[in-house]
Amino acid sequence: MLARIVFAAASAALLPAQMVTDFQPPRAACCLAGAAQTLADQLQDWNQLGRYHADNARLKAMPAEPGRVVFFGDSITDGWKLAGTFPGKPYVNRGIGGQTTAQMLVRMMPDVIANKPAAFILLAGTNDIAQNAGPQTLEMIAQNIQAMSELARAHGVKVILCTLLPISDYTQRQQSKRRPPADILALNRWIKEYAAQTGAIVADYYAATADGEGFLKDGYSGDGLHPDAKGYELMAPAAQAAIDKALR
């Protein structure tokens, strides 16, 4: 017993110290109970089916417009002011910031198919790569995109798949730490291969926004991830060309 105590003491002496002489904890946030309740409330609609519920009801009460297209995706879609970019077009925005392909898959019926579009244009996967909902393999992301595509086709909705935009490290955010360019390229390769196999149309946002280094062009994003107004201008021709081809 004494030998074990001596060994334990000697081993402990080699470990880095954990105690401090000056107690300076980080400042605690106010009202933790309220924050916990807010989080609990949000988790009741983790897929955010409520975000567009009222507007979906409004659209369903109206006759389906010829040429209606649902833009479906995450924050890059969410932040796109479609009416300004495509004036007069019956384009519907159903993007939600931060979402992964798994969350979008759950939203396919209420946010896309129930709105009776002629086509939907899907931009998804960058948040899966960033592990917003935990680690994901390429196969897992691909299966979700495949499932969304098959649901659309089963309901007579034309499928447009978008390549992911590149990121950049030109800003202070250093986006490549969470979204390695190699992962973006790998998913984009799969998207193009899957589209070729299934007859889906590709909107190549990557080609429209990448510079010679494979980064999102400098001066077209404030954080190296989300396009600014000029960035959306680069994307718009690729989107419109894909829509025209899908609805032709």
Whole-structure pTM value: 0.84
Task: For residue range 131-169, list pLDDT tens digits in order.
Answer: 999 999 999 999 999 999 999 999 999 999 999 999 999
* pLDDT at position 197: 98
Residues 6+ apart with CB under 8 A from 237: 208
Task: For residue range 15-24, list pLDDT tens digits in order.
Answer: 455 565 676 7
Mean pLDDT value of segment 89-99:
97
CA 136 to chain centre: 13
pLDDT of 29 strictly over 70 = no
Percent composition of the chain: helix, strand, coil (DSSP 3-state, to 5): 50, 10, 40
CA-to-CA distance for 110 and 186, rounded, in angstroms? 30
Mean pLDDT value of segment 40-69:
87
The closest alpha carbon to 176, from 188, 184, 167, belongs to 167
What domains are there in the chain, each with its CATH number?
69-247 (3.40.50.1110)
CA-to-CA distance for 118 and 111, rounded, in angstroms? 14
Higher-pLDDT residue of 235, 63: 235
